[in-house]
């Protein structure tokens, strides 16, 4: 059976998706990256192989995510694509009339505007991880509860605590103060969800023409509290796809199918765990006009 593999290696999680020739999902995998993307990717491939039929033949592979170039070298990818493109392609595949895609992962968040199946605009968070999955995980751990319980309890409150500040440090300080004042934890969690959504809408989505249908993707879409607040703030329905957490990998697999190379692809196979590989490392200075990091660097150099 011919199939196509999409790989999305992010800073927090690694996702794999395999599609058949009809672009139906055959299998998927979602693992924590844990700071070792190469090792986790090798383990993910090994686990994925056990989930697949024995007669499956991978014809093409595409990678995406923050470690997409590294992943491409490891597996032998035929295509490397950015997260914006892959998330949009997956959303359009499942919801053809989608006009807005919200994607929040472990360390970044993004909004993608789609018109007639094409990306027309997008926005991403900058250096701050406020409102992403890692911050929510940290707060759930601090409250000594699972992220599932954290999500559920955000639905139990109708009186959100006021959590101020656009920074994770200030938001956590506010949460601690509210706890010390005896505010119910459910209200604090609901308040945090409201603050994080407000930060997303005023930063990442600032000035964007958000129109329905709106699709919410990424690992944070597991959090029912965030979904609830998005619906309240936008006053429109929010669609959460059934496999929202692996949509980036699905989009990569769709592109791998669409751009299948003639003849045999470059895929090295699933059993690459023990193969020795060396990866060249290089640095490049950003010279993009308007780049926030570059502008800050130039300002700092000028101050000296």
The reply to whether 234 and 254 lie within a common domain is no
Lowest mean pLDDT among 24-28, 260-264, 277-281: 277-281
| 264 SS3 class | coil
Q: What is the reported pLDDT for 276? A: 45
Band of pLDDT at residue 68, cut at 50, 70 and 90: very high
User: How many distinct structural domains can be found in the chain?
Assistant: 2
More confident site: 191 or 129 = 191
- DSSP annotation of 261: P
Per the domain annotation, does 270 fall within a domain? no
Q: Residues 161, 188: contact at Cβ < 8 Å?
A: yes
H helices within the chain, ranges in order? Answer: 37-51, 68-75, 83-94, 133-142, 147-153, 168-180, 185-202, 224-234, 247-258, 292-303
Per the domain annotation, does 263 fall within a domain? no
The reply to whether 156 and 207 lie within a common domain is yes
Average pLDDT of the segment spanning 254-258: 97
**Closest C-alpha to 30, from 260, 222, 216:** 222
More confident site: 169 or 3 = 3
Query: Of 240, 273, 293, which marks where a domain is finished?
Result: 240
The reply to whether 22 and 154 lie within a common domain is no
d(C-alpha 149, C-alpha 160), whole Å: 17
The reply to whether 191 and 80 lie within a common domain is no
Per the domain annotation, does 264 fall within a domain? no
Query: Of 184, 212, 240, which marks where a domain is finished?
Result: 240
Q: What is the reported pLDDT for 211? A: 96
The reply to whether 141 and 22 lie within a common domain is no
Average pLDDT of the segment spanning 18-22: 97
The reply to whether 78 and 101 lie within a common domain is no
Q: Is the pLDDT of residue 213 over 80?
A: yes
CB burial readout 17-42, b (16+ within 10 A) else e:
bbbbeeeeebbbbbbebeeebbebbb
Q: Is the pLDDT of residue 298 over 70?
A: no
The two three-digit tokens of residue 234, written as one number: 């936008």
Per the domain annotation, does 226 fall within a domain? yes
Q: What is the reported pLDDT for 286? A: 62
Per the domain annotation, does 46 fall within a domain? yes
The reply to whether 39 and 119 lie within a common domain is no
More confident site: 201 or 34 = 201
Q: Is the pLDDT of residue 45 over 70?
A: yes
Q: Is the pLDDT of residue 67 over 70?
A: yes
More confident site: 303 or 286 = 286
Q: Residues 69, 282: contact at Cβ < 8 Å?
A: no
Per the domain annotation, does 280 fall within a domain? no
Q: Is the pLDDT of residue 127 over 60?
A: no
The reply to whether 29 and 109 lie within a common domain is no
Q: Is the pLDDT of residue 230 over 60?
A: yes
The reply to whether 214 and 115 lie within a common domain is yes
The two three-digit tokens of residue 94, written as one number: 């499942």
The two three-digit tokens of residue 32, written as one number: 């924590």
d(C-alpha 156, C-alpha 94), whole Å: 31
d(C-alpha 17, C-alpha 253), whole Å: 7
Per the domain annotation, does 284 fall within a domain? no
The reply to whether 111 and 217 lie within a common domain is yes
The reply to whether 253 and 233 lie within a common domain is no
d(C-alpha 279, C-alpha 73), whole Å: 8
Query: Of 192, 211, 240, which marks where a domain is finished?
Result: 240
d(C-alpha 261, C-alpha 252), whole Å: 15
Give this prediction's pTM.
Answer: 0.87
Q: Is the pLDDT of residue 173 over 60?
A: yes
Reading phi first (left if > 0) and then psi (alpha if -120 to 50, else beta), residue 270 is in alpha
- The domain of 150 spans 96-240
Crossing angle for the helix pair 185-202 and 224-234, to the nearest 10 degrees: 60
Band of pLDDT at residue 263, cut at 50, 70 and 90: confident
What's the CATH number where 74 sits? 3.30.420.40
Band of pLDDT at residue 80, cut at 50, 70 and 90: very high
The reply to whether 76 and 111 lie within a common domain is no
Please tell me which of 119-128, 147-156, 232-241 the model is most confident about, judged by mean pLDDT. Answer: 232-241
Per the domain annotation, does 278 fall within a domain? no
């Amino acid at each position: 059976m011919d199939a196509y593999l999409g790989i999305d290696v992010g800073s927090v999680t690694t996702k794999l998706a395999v599609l058949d020739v009809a672009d139906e999902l055959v299998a998927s995998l979602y693992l924590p990256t844990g700071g070792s993307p190469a090792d986790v990717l090798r383990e993910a491939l090994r686990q994925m192989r056990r989930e697949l039929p024995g007669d499956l033949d991978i014809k093409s592979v595409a990678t995406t995510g923050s470690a997409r170039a590294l992943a491409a070298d490891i597996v032998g990818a035929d295509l490397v694509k950015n997260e914006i493109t892959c998330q949009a392609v997956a959303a359009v595949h499942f919801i053809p009339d989608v006009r807005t895609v919200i994607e929040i992962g472990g360390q970044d968040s993004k909004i993608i505007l789609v018109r007639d199946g094409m990306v027309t605009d997008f926005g991403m968070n900058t250096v701050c991880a406020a409102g992403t999955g890692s911050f929510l995980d940290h707060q759930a751990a601090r409250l000594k509860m699972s992220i599932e319980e954290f999500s559920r309890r955000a639905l139990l409150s109708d009186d959100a605590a006021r959590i101020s500040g656009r920074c994770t440090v200030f938001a956590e300080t506010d949460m601690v103060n509210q706890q010390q004042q005896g505010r119910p934890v459910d209200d604090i969690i609901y308040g945090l969800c409201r603050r994080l959504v407000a930060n997303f809408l005023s930063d990442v989505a600032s000035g964007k023409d958000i129109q329905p249908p709106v699709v919410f993707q990424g690992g944070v879409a597991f959090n029912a509290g965030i979904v609830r607040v998005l619906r309240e703030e936008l006053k429109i329905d929010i669609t959460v796809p059934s496999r929202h957490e692996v949509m980036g990998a699905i989009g990569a697999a769709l592109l791998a199918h669409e751009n299948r190379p003639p003849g045999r692809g470059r895929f090295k196979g699933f059993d690459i765990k023990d193969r020795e590989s060396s990866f060249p490392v290089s640095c490049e200075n950003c010279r993009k006009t308007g780049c926030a990091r570059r502008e800050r660097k130039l300002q700092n150099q000028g101050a000296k």
